[in-house]
Structure 1
Amino acid sequence: MLSHLFSLARPLIHSLDAETAHRLTVTGLAAAPLRRAGADDPVLATQAFGLSFPNPVGLAAGFDKNAEAIDGALALGFGFVEAGGVTPLPQPGNPRPRVFRLAEDEAVINRYGLNSEGMEAVAKRLATRRGRGGLVGVNLGANKDSADRAADYAILARRLAPLADFLTINVSSPNTPGLRDLQAENALDDLVARTLAARDEANAGARLTPILLKIAPDLTLPELDGMVAVARKRGIDGMIVSNTTVARPASLRSAARGETGGLSGKPLFEASTRLLAETFLRVDGQFPLIGVGGIDSAETAFAKIRAGATLLQFYSAMVFKGPGLAGQIKSGLADRTRRAGLTRLTALIGRDAAAIARGEGL
C-alpha cells in the first residue's frame, strides 16, 4: 500500500526542491497518529550493544535531525531510529540550497552542515516520548564555531545518555570544516575518552548507554587501522560504517554531480561495503557493526550482512523508492534466511567479509 501511494505521489514530491520535500515528509510523519508497526518475523530478531532489536533495519541519522518524527518512523517498520546529528547549541547550518537529488544516479548530495535545533530541544522531545517503546539512538556532532569540539561531544553525552538507547560519535560529516580531522588517531583517542567519561557520569548507578563511532567511507586502510585501534582500546560499543563520501565516482550522470557536499545513495554502496568488510576483519568480533551506504533493496541489505553488519541503516533510498522500503527489505532478508536453512539472520553476519574486502562477491 505504501509503495503504491508513493508511486502516485512521487511526481508531486519530486517537483519540490529536495529540502522542502524532506521537511514536509518529516512534518507529515510527526503529525501522523501514533500506531505500532506489525510484529516482525522472528528470524530477524537481533542482539547488539546489550539491546534487543525486533529487526536489524534502521533509519539512518540525517533524516530526523531534531527527533520530531521518531514514532512515525518506527511505524514504518524500522527496528530502530537514529535522530540527529545534534549539536550542543542551535545552529542554522549552511546556506540553501544545500541538498540535491541526483535522480539518474539514485543518489543525494547534501551540505546541510549539521543544522540543528540544539541539544535541549532534542532532549525535551526524547523525554516527552519516553515509555512509548522503540529503540532510539542520537547522533552527536560539534558546533561549527566551537573552541573545543571534543568537549561538545562530552556535553552531549552527559545530557542525552539518560534519554537515548545509544549515542553515536559522528566525526565523519564532510560538511563541517575540520570535523573529519577528529578521525586522526590521537585526536580521536582524546575525544572518545572524554565522551565515555561523560557518559559514565550521566549513567552513574544505571545501565551504561552504548556509545558508537561513525566513520567516513573515504578512509585509507592505515587510517582505518588507527580508528579501530582507538575503538578497541577504549571499549567503544560499536561502529557505524559509513557516512557520506566526498568522492565523485566517474559513473555519475546527474547534472548536480558537481555540487559540493556528502554523496549518499546507490553510488556509495560498493565503497562503503568494502570498508565495512575491512572493519569487520579488524574488529575481530570485539563489538558489532552497523552497515550504511547504498542500501536500496533486500539484495544490497543482505550484502551488508555478509560483509559484517549486525544492523543496517538507510534513508537516501526512500527518496526514490518510498516509505515502504523498510518492509520490503525485511521481507527479503527473512526469505533469504529461510532459503539458507537457517532460523536466524545473524548466522550470516560476516560470512563473505574476506572476499568482499578483496573486491569480490558484490
Structure 2
Amino acid sequence: MKALVDGLGRRALFSLDPETAHGLSIAALKSGLPLARRPLVDPRLATTVAGLTFANPLGMAAGFDKNAEVPDALLRLGFGFAEVGTVTPLPQPGNARPRIFRLIEDEAVINRLGFNNQGHAAAAARLAARARKPGIVGVNIGANKEAEDRIGDYAAGVARFAGLASYLTVNISSPNTPGLRNLQGRGELKTLLQRVGEARASSPAPGIPIFLKIAPDLGEADLDDIALEVTAQGIDGVIVSNTTLSRQGLRSAKRTEAGGLSGKPLFRRSTAVLARMRERLGPKPALIGAGGVDGTEAALEKIRAGADLVQLYTGMIYAGPSLPGAIVAGLARHAEKEGLRSLAELRDSHVAKWLAAPID
C-alpha cells in the first residue's frame, strides 16, 4: 500500500517542475499529515559520533530543508538526524530559474541553486522555537555570494547557530557559488578552519561538533591536504560528499545542464573518496557518507567503506517519503541476520575494496 501511495505521489510531483514540487513537499511535511509509518527504533542501530548519540545512522542531507522549516517532520519519517541549510548570513535568492533538473533515466538530479535561503535570522528563529524538542538537528552554514569576507561568513554562522544546533557543518563544496570550492585548498582551508575554531571557542556551545563538507571532485593530493588540516585544526569529522561536476556515464538528455549532480551516479565516486578519507584520518574522526544512497544496501556499503553515519536526499525524490523508514528497517533486519550487537561492527570492512576504486 505504501509503495502505491509513494508511486502516486511521485507521479503527481513529477508532473510539476522540480522547484514547485519541492515546495509542495515542504508544505506536506508542515501539514503534519502522516506521510510514512512510525519509525522503527532498534538499539543496535544507535550510533555515538562526536559525543552525540543518534537513534540510527541515517540522516537527511542539507539542501532539502534550507530554512529550518521541517526538521522535526523529517525526524518523524525515520531519519536519525536532519541537517538544515545551507544557511548564509544574509538572505539571497540564488541563481536564476530553472535551476533544478531531474535526470529520470539516471535517477539523478542536477541543481544550480546557489545557496538560495532566507538567511541566518529566519533559520535561527525557527530553531530557537524548537530548542527543547528531542532529536539531532545539524545546521549547514555557508557564505553569501557577494560577501567580501567569505571566511567571516562561516565564523558568523558558527557564532549564530552554536547554541541552537546539535552540530554544525562548514560547507565549502557547493559548485554553484563561484570560487567557493577554492576554500578547499590547503592555505585558505587552514585560515577558514582556524577562524571557525576560534568562533566555536567563544560561542555559547564551545564543545559543539563541527564537520567539514567536501566535494567528490578532488585528487589524492587534495585529500591529503584536507585530512592534514582537519586533524591540525581539531575538526570533528568530514561529510563525503557534496554534488559532482562529473557527467560520466549519464544517459539523460538533461545531463548537459550546468550545476552539481546528485543521486545514483554519484555513489561510486563519493564512496571511493569516503574510503580515502577514512584511510587518511584514521579510526577516530567522524565520517558521514553521502552521495547515491537510495536503499539499505547502499547505506550499508557506505558504512563498510568507512562511514559512521549516512545521509541521503535525492534518493527520496525518486522513492518517496517512506524511503528513510524502509532503509532503517532494512538496517535492523541486516543486524538481526548477521547477529550484530551494533551496526558499527561493519565499519571499515570494505575500505580496502573502495581504495582500489578510481576517483577520476
TM-score range (shorter-chain normalised) is over 0.9
Shift of 1:312: 0.4
Q: Is the 8 A contact 2:40 2:328 kept in 1?
A: no
- Secondary structure at 1:26 match in 2: helix
Alignment partner, residue 25 of structure 2:
25
Amino acid at match of 2:120: M
Amino acid at match of 1:8: L
Partners of 2:156 and 2:245 lie apart in 1 by 28
Alignment partner, residue 356 of structure 1:
354
Partners of 2:4 and 2:129 lie apart in 1 by 33
Q: 320-329 vs 170-179, which deviates more?
A: 320-329
Shift of 1:39: 4.6
Partners of 1:118 and 1:300 lie apart in 2 by 33
Q: Is the 8 A contact 1:57 1:79 kept in 2?
A: yes
Alignment partner, residue 70 of structure 1:
71
Partners of 1:337 and 1:220 lie apart in 2 by 35
Is 2:124 the partner of 1:130?
no
Q: Counterparts of 1:112-127 in structure 2 under 5 Å?
A: 112-127=113-128
> Residue deviations 1:107-158, cap 9 Å, x none?
0000000001000100000000111111000001100000110000001100
Shift of 1:200: 1.4
> Residue deviations 1:237-273, cap 9 Å, x none?
1110000001111x21111100000000000000000
Matched length: 357
Q: Counterparts of 1:157-196 in structure 2 under 5 Å?
A: 157-196=158-197
Partners of 2:65 and 2:2 lie apart in 1 by 19
Is 2:311 the partner of 1:313?
yes
Shift of 1:359: 2.0
> Normalization by structure 1: what TM-score?
0.96
Partners of 2:219 and 2:11 lie apart in 1 by 40
- Secondary structure at 1:260 match in 2: coil
Alignment partner, residue 211 of structure 1:
210
Amino acid at match of 1:96: R
Is 2:225 the partner of 1:229?
no
Alignment partner, residue 109 of structure 1:
110
State, as a whole percentage, how many aligned pairs show the same letter.
52
Q: Is the 8 A contact 1:268 1:294 kept in 2?
A: yes
Partners of 1:359 and 1:184 lie apart in 2 by 24
Return closer, same or farther for 1:112/1:345 CA change in 2, 3 Å cut-off.
Answer: same
Shift of 1:2: 4.1
Partners of 1:123 and 1:53 lie apart in 2 by 22
Shift of 1:334: 1.7
- Secondary structure at 1:175 match in 2: coil
Amino acid at match of 1:59: M
Aligned counterpart for 2:250 among listed residues 249, 252, 256: 252
Partners of 1:259 and 1:294 lie apart in 2 by 19
Amino acid at match of 2:111: N
Shift of 1:97: 0.2
Q: Is the 8 A contact 1:232 1:286 kept in 2?
A: no
Q: Is the 8 A contact 2:66 2:87 kept in 1?
A: yes
Alignment partner, residue 53 of structure 2:
52
Aligned counterpart for 2:286 among listed residues 285, 288, 293: 288
Partners of 1:150 and 1:31 lie apart in 2 by 37
Structure 1: stretches of 5+ with no match in the other structure:
none
Q: Counterparts of 1:91-102 in structure 2 under 5 Å?
A: 91-102=92-103
Structure 2: stretches of 5+ with no match in the other structure:
none
- Secondary structure at 2:162 match in 1: helix
- Secondary structure at 1:256 match in 2: helix
Alignment partner, residue 347 of structure 1:
345
- Secondary structure at 2:239 match in 1: strand
Q: Is the 8 A contact 2:39 2:77 kept in 1?
A: no
Q: 180-189 vs 32-41, which deviates more?
A: 32-41
- Secondary structure at 2:92 match in 1: coil
Q: Is the 8 A contact 1:307 1:349 kept in 2?
A: yes
Q: Is the 8 A contact 2:26 2:65 kept in 1?
A: yes
> Residue deviations 1:271-294, cap 9 Å, x none?
000000011111112311000000
Return closer, same or farther for 1:37/1:161 CA change in 2, 3 Å cut-off.
Answer: farther
- Secondary structure at 1:202 match in 2: coil
- Secondary structure at 2:163 match in 1: helix
Shift of 1:339: 2.3
Alignment partner, residue 148 of structure 2:
147
- Secondary structure at 1:71 match in 2: helix
RMSD, matched Cα: 1.5
Partners of 1:239 and 1:3 lie apart in 2 by 34
Shift of 1:341: 2.2
Q: Is the 8 A contact 1:66 1:83 kept in 2?
A: yes
Amino acid at match of 1:186: G
Q: Is the 8 A contact 1:3 1:323 kept in 2?
A: no
Partners of 2:29 and 2:18 lie apart in 1 by 17
